[in-house]
Amino acid sequence: MKKLILFYGLVLLAVSACTSSKTTRYRVASEYGDCVGVAPQKCMYVKVGNQADWQFFYSRIEGFNYEEGYEYVLDVKTEKRENTPADASSFRYILVKQISKTRTTSTGLPRIPSRNTGYQINGKVVSIEDATIGRGAAQGQFGVLVVGIEVTSSTDTFVKPGDIVYCELLPSPSVKPVKGREYVFKAKSKHPAHAKGVYFLETDVIDLK
């Protein structure tokens, strides 16, 4: 009986491990790019699975030693973190196997809008919520208003019409948003890997002309 209980326990543990992580094929470009999350930083460019376009990768891949000037093909395991802070990545990325390393120059790499222009998103407000966040000991925790938006257009090449994105508003935006109405949202930067998904920071709200 004890052996049977132990067997089923091991089966449940294996099933749980399979459902909490998955392995995906990544292609990593030959150079870093300038990206903006909570602050300006350097990011790898990656294609995930069958993606045709490069995208910024704001996290790190544990166990992977990157060297510029080479394209890599990797198998990467993604694990969901438990009890993730609201403004932190909800996933860990772990190298399973390096498939190839080829000296080349990657092409078609995207470039971010400048820090001066930021991002502009047009869309309809689908949710409004109060949130408490913390970004380092110096700032401590503070309250913000987070707006969910159904996008109609965007200057961010990774955001398409119909996508749902989130904007963390400035303390005193030009216009107070109302659920169901459409506005122009102008954000200074984008969070590198927020648990909610695409998440913009320091966002002003402007009425459509």
Q: Which residue has the higher pLDDT, 203 or 87?
A: 203
* The pLDDT value given to residue 145: 93
- Residue 129's beta-bridge partner residues? 146
Structure confidence at residue 16 (pLDDT): 44
Q: What is the pLDDT of residue 73?
A: 98
Statement: residue 12 has pLDDT above 50: no
pLDDT reported for residue 29:
96
Reported as a single tens digit per residue, the pLDDT across 94-138 is 999 999 999 999 998 876 554 456 888 999 999 999 988 765 544
Decide: helix, strand or coil at residue 78: strand
Residue identified by tokens 């992977």 is 64
- The pTM of this model reads 0.50
CA distance readout (Å), 163 to 139, 153, 158, 199: 31, 10, 10, 12
Q: Given pLDDT bands bounded at 50, 70 and 90, which one contains residue 19?
A: very low
Q: Could you read off the pLDDT of 182-208 as tens digits, one per residue?
A: 999 999 888 877 888 899 999 999 997
> How big is the CA angle at 22 (ends 17 and 23), to the nearest 5 degrees?
130
Per residue in 136-145, pLDDT tens?
A: 544 556 788 9
Q: Report the run of H or E that residue 16 belongs to, with start and end.
A: helix 2-20
How far apart CA 198 and CA 187 sit, in angstroms, is 12
Give the model's pLDDT for residue 8. 42
Query: Strand 21-36 relative to strand 70-80: parallel, antiparallel, unpaired?
Result: antiparallel
pLDDT at 5: 43
Per-chain mean pLDDT for the chain: 81
CA dihedral (191, 157, 51, 106) in degrees, to 10, reads -90
Rounded distance between C-alpha atoms, residue 126 and residue 144, angstroms? 17
8: three-class secondary structure by DSSP: helix
Beta strands across the sheet bearing 91-103: 55-57, 40-48, 21-36, 70-80, 91-103, 61-62
CATH number of 119-207: 2.40.50
